[in-house]
Amino acid sequence: MLYYLSLPILSILLIVLQSIITDIVFSNRLVFEVSLLVVIYAGFRLDLIKGTALALILGFIFDCVSGSVLGVFALIYIIVFWGSFYISDWLDTEKTHVIVFFSFLCSFLKEIILNFFYYLAFDINVLINVYFIILIQSLIIGLLAPLFFYWMDRTGILLYEERV
Amino acid sequence: MFFKKYKIIIFISVVFITILIVISYNVKYSKDNSFLRKIVLETASPVQEILSGSIKSVKDAWLRYVLLVGIEEENKKLTNKINELKAVLVSYQESYQEAQRLKKLLSISDNYKYRFITARVIGREQAALSRTVLINKGSSDGLRNGMPVIAYPGLIGRLVDVSWNISRVLLLIDENSNIDAIVQRNRTQGIISGSGSRGMILKYISKTQDVQKGDVIVSSGMGGVFPKGWLIGQVIHVDRQDAGLFLKINVAPFVDLSKLEELLILSSDETTF
């Protein structure tokens, strides 16, 4: 229960922190989407219900803070979570190259879906202008994913040991 | 039995359909100002303010230290620049006085009742597709959707999402931003559209028109959102080779939109300018 209650607050903290990091480190030219890494990590490690709730709440809060159409990021995060969840049965998600490649793919596909949605809903097509940025952004996400996963695993172990 | 067997598929379908309904509703009816969005923004606002405030002070301290290097050289350059500008200012003052006299003569009067509301930027948009900033003022400070936003020396956008104590500013470079504008030199009228990281594009200017690199673009006052004559940007590239009927004109904003800190919201007693 504590998990579900703390999700909205932790999600707000994460999204705000992420926006500040993006602003300071990348001057808003690139988006460093830690929230996407959290969703992928959840897909690899959490069960279906807990992970879906996390993806849904994180996506919804991202929608609210970023000003996009309500539900878009929630939908994308849910798709990413379900994709990661089912892929984790087939692939060895402990291997670094799997994490790098899968995170890169998710980040890239996420942006493509987002562009496709804006094209369908508002007839805005900016893919041609931002494809290079999307590629770099996805590469950064992919390369930093193993570090993030390692850090999350370590935190999980520490918390577990403390509880025991 | 059926529900047990297909519970995962049913769960996924229900979540998926619910989100699709939410998206459809928001696309069709209201993109801004939903109650839930306001609640989340109001909750995120203090966290954002505290975090960005403390990080900004560390960043400022570091920058102040870095800036001290070579300050003497810069000081000399600035002193020379001030002297040059003083001369320019005197000529402008002359022109201003003349304009005032002529204005009186022609009995033209300003009907605008401007009131400026100062706000501080507390967050920036992070989605690659949109360019917005969050400010620390909202409807409780008298802000309303559509109000023009200014940062010296010109327009930067308009309010699109006003909550009680926090608002979102749609920047001129956002793909969704379109405003009526004129070329200051020859009064040619066009539409300034946001083009993301490429700045802005001045649209619908016929190839027969004389628009050059360096031309200043100002708001036309049409449409009733932005007042007339406010600086928007400067032409940086004019493409006459394009196959279409119109010129392809790239415009750079006057204001560095990546370094916005304090903004002015142009409030008026009248709804239109």
What are B207-258's pLDDT values in tens digits? Answer: 888 888 888 899 988 877 888 888 899 999 888 776 778 888 999 998 888 7
Instruction: Using alpha carbons, list the distances in angstroms from residue B88 to A32, A90, B46, B100.
Output: 45, 72, 45, 18
Whether residues B85 and B180 share a domain: the answer is no
CB A93 within 8 A of CB A106: no
- Please tell me what DSSP assigns to residue A68: P
What sign results for the dihedral spanned by CA atoms B212, B214, B220, B226?
positive
Whether residues B161 and B89 share a domain: the answer is no
Interface with chain A: mutation pick from B10, B16, B17, B19, highest number of A CBs within 10 Å = B19
Lowest mean pLDDT among A99-103, A132-136, A156-160, B157-161: A156-160
Whether residues B26 and B43 share a domain: the answer is no
Whether residues B25 and B133 share a domain: the answer is no
> Of the candidates B87, B106, B125, which is a domain's last residue?
B106
Q: Give the pLDDT confidence score for residue B273 in this predicted structure.
A: 46
> Of the candidates B106, B123, B151, which is a domain's last residue?
B106
Q: pLDDT band for position B269 (50/70/90)?
A: low
Q: Give the pLDDT confidence score for residue B30 in this predicted structure.
A: 63
CATH number, domain with residue B244: 2.40.10.340
Whether residues B176 and B254 share a domain: the answer is yes
Contact (CB<8Å) A12/B26: no
Q: Give the pLDDT confidence score for residue A28 in this predicted structure.
A: 67
Lowest mean pLDDT among A79-88, A108-117, B82-91, B145-154: B82-91
**Which of these, B177, B173, B176, B169, lies nearest to B196 by C-alpha position?**
B173
Q: Check if A128 contacts B (Cβ < 8 Å).
A: no
Judged against a pLDDT cut of 50, whether residue B95 lies above it is answered with yes
Whether residues B225 and B184 share a domain: the answer is yes
Judged against a pLDDT cut of 60, whether residue B153 lies above it is answered with yes
Q: In this predicted model, which residue has the larger pLDDT, B264 or B107?
A: B264
Whether residues B91 and B20 share a domain: the answer is no
Contact (CB<8Å) B19/A65: no
CB A75 within 8 A of CB A109: no
Q: pLDDT tens digits, residue range B183-212?
A: 988 888 999 998 877 789 998 888 888 888
Judged against a pLDDT cut of 70, whether residue B25 lies above it is answered with yes
HEC profile of A97-158: HHHHHHHHHHHHHHHHHHHHHHHHHHCCCCHHHHHHHHHHHHHHHHHHHHHHHHHHHHHHHH
Q: Give the pLDDT confidence score for residue B104 in this predicted structure.
A: 63
> Of the candidates B85, B106, B127, which is a domain's last residue?
B106
Arithmetic mean of pLDDT, A80-89: 91
What is the β-pairing status of strands B189-194 and B154-162? unpaired
Counting the structural domains of chain B, the total is: 3
Please give the angle made by the CA atoms of B130, A17 and A19, to the nearest 5 degrees.
15
Integer Cα distance of B205 and B212 in angstroms: 12
Cβ burial of B234 (10 Å; 0-12, 13-18, 19+) is: middle
Whether residues B22 and B87 share a domain: the answer is no
Q: Give the pLDDT confidence score for residue A81 in this predicted structure.
A: 93
Task: Give the minimum alpha-carbon distance from B3 to chain A in angstroms, rounded to a whole number.
Answer: 16
Complex ipTM above 0.95?
A: no
Instruction: Using alpha carbons, list the distances in angstroms from residue B166 to B48, B66, B149.
Output: 11, 33, 14
Residues with Cβ within 8 Å of A70's Cβ and at least 6 positions away in sequence, in order, are A60, A63, A64, B22, B23, B26, B31, B34, B36, B37
CB A107 within 8 A of CB A33: yes
* pTM, two decimal places: 0.69
Q: Give the pLDDT confidence score for residue B272 in this predicted structure.
A: 44
Q: In this predicted model, which residue has the larger pLDDT, B1 or B263?
A: B263
Whole-number percent of chain B with pLDDT over 70: 88
Whether residues B269 and B233 share a domain: the answer is yes
Integer Cα distance of B123 and A17 in angstroms: 10
Mean of the per-residue pLDDT values for chain B?
81
Q: pLDDT band for position B271 (50/70/90)?
A: very low
Residues with Cβ within 8 Å of B218's Cβ and at least 6 positions away in sequence, in order, are B181, B182, B184, B228, B229, B230, B231, B232
- What is the dihedral angle through the alpha carbons of A147, A151, A156, A157, rounded to the nearest 10 degrees? 100
138-157 of A, contacting B, C-beta below 8 A: none
Tokens of A12: 């707000």
Task: Look up the domain containing B63 and give its range.
Answer: 37-106
B158: helix, strand or coil: strand
Judged against a pLDDT cut of 50, whether residue B79 lies above it is answered with yes
Q: In this predicted model, which residue has the larger pLDDT, A46 or A124?
A: A46
Q: pLDDT tens digits, residue range A5-19?
A: 888 889 988 988 888
Whether residues B183 and B270 share a domain: the answer is yes
**Which of these, B184, B175, B162, B161, lies nearest to B233 by C-alpha position?**
B184
Whether residues B131 and B244 share a domain: the answer is yes
Q: In chain A, what residues touch B161 (CB-CB under 8 Å)?
A: 67
Whether residues B20 and B65 share a domain: the answer is no
